[in-house]
């Protein structure tokens, strides 16, 4: 069942790629500017000489940004269209990068290499049907001295819904933070172009902060920090949102976990 939903999501993502090749700041990346924002760069730290696996890498803009900063990179994503662009970009930039097409839920069987860093950011956990499996996958990919870093939308933000059911409306707590059902959307909307809707059903999952952190602890990792931020994806994020509004509730969060 989850597999069918994930395949529907893949079709949606395939359908957004052509637009993202226009709307992401690819020209800046090709000119040699890493697109990962300063907050994430400072929290991840120096990556030079490190092997880095980027889970849910999309068209590879952040993956290749880490390569510009000195990492040996591998991107993993389910969308063949996204990976086609990622591979073309790597070639154009003269970067040796590996891009693997896989459902992240199958990565434990498909990828046996170990990495110093596993990285994931900006629109990740809502696509994961099983947070505990995801955490075990991250641990599987890490070498024994490695760490995982995630920056993503805060689960609390998704209970703030406006009348149209859109997330992030201030002071309107209408959703159920503890809900267990999968969210089904008629159409896959785009965060870079409000006009674009790919006509496939898409499915999203919701994980509470407790479920997320406990999954990583149970998978054999120790949390080094957990930060919550009142800004959504902001500050010249590689791809899209440069809105810097500051809210009164947590919009994004990040955490780092080391292998134990």
Interface residues with ligand SAM (CB under 6 A) are 6, 9, 13, 56, 58, 61-62, 77-79, 82, 103-105, 121-123, 127, 238-239
Secondary structure of 146-200 in the HEC alphabet? Answer: EEEEEEEECHHHHHEECCCCCECCCCCECCCCCCCCCEEEEEEECCCCCCCEEEE
C-beta of 54: minimal distance to ligand SAM in Å?
Answer: 8
Beta bridge partners of 197: 189
* 150 or 213: CB nearest ligand SAM: 150
* 142 or 239: CB nearest ligand SAM: 239
C-beta of 181: minimal distance to ligand SAM in Å?
Answer: 18
C-beta of 57: minimal distance to ligand SAM in Å?
Answer: 7
Select from 100, 107, 106 the least CA-distant residue to 82. 100
* 17 or 257: CB nearest ligand SAM: 17
Query: How far, in Å, CA of 233 to CA of 131, rounded?
Result: 22
C-beta of 61: minimal distance to ligand SAM in Å?
Answer: 5
Select from 188, 193, 254 the least CA-distant residue to 8. 188
C-beta of 238: minimal distance to ligand SAM in Å?
Answer: 6
C-beta of 145: minimal distance to ligand SAM in Å?
Answer: 25
* 133 or 174: CB nearest ligand SAM: 133
3-class secondary structure, 37: coil
Give CB contacts under 8 A, 24+ apart, made by 192-195: 192/19, 192/20, 192/23, 192/24, 192/239, 192/240, 193/19, 193/23
Select from 35, 14, 191 the least CA-distant residue to 101. 14
* Phi, psi values for residue 79, rounded to 5°: -90, 110
Query: How far, in Å, CA of 136 to CA of 4, rounded?
Result: 22
* 101 or 116: CB nearest ligand SAM: 101
Closest-by-Cβ residue to ligand SAM is 123
C-beta of 77: minimal distance to ligand SAM in Å?
Answer: 5
* 51 or 202: CB nearest ligand SAM: 202
* 174 or 199: CB nearest ligand SAM: 199
What is the greatest pairwise CA distance in the chain? Answer: 49
Residue keyed to tokens 């929290």: 43
């Amino acid at each position: 069942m989850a597999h069918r939903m994930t395949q529907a999501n893949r079709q949606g993502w395939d359908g957004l790629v052509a637009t993202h090749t226009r709307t992401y700041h690819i020209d800046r990346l090709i000119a040699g500017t890493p697109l990962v924002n300063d907050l994430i760069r400072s929290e991840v730290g120096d990556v030079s000489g490190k092997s880095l696996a980027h889970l849910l890498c999309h068209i590879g803009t952040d993956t290749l940004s880490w390569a510009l900063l000195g990492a040996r990179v591998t991107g993993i994503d389910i969308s063949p269209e996204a990976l086609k662009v990622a591979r073309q970009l790597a070639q154009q930039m003269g970067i040796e990068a590996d891009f693997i097409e896989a459902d992240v839920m199958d990565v434990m069987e498909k990828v046996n290499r170990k990495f110093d860093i596993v990285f994931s950011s900006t629109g990740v956990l809502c696509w994961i049907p099983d947070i505990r499996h995801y955490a075990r996958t991250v641990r599987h990919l890490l070498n024994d001295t490695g760490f995982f870093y995630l920056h993503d939308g805060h689960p609390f933000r998704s209970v703030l819904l406006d009348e149209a059911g859109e997330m992030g409306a201030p002071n309107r707590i209408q959703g159920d933070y503890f809900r267990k059902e999968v969210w089904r959307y008629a159409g896959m909307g785009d965060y870079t172009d409000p006009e674009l809707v790919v006509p496939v059903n898409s499915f999203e999952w919701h994980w509470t902060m407790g479920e997320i952190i406990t999954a990583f602890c149970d998978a054999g990792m120790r949390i080094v920090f957990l930060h919550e931020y009142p800004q959504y994806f902001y500050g010249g994020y590689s791809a899209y949102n440069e809105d810097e509004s500051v809210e009164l509730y947590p919009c994004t969060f990040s955490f780092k976990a080391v292998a134990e």
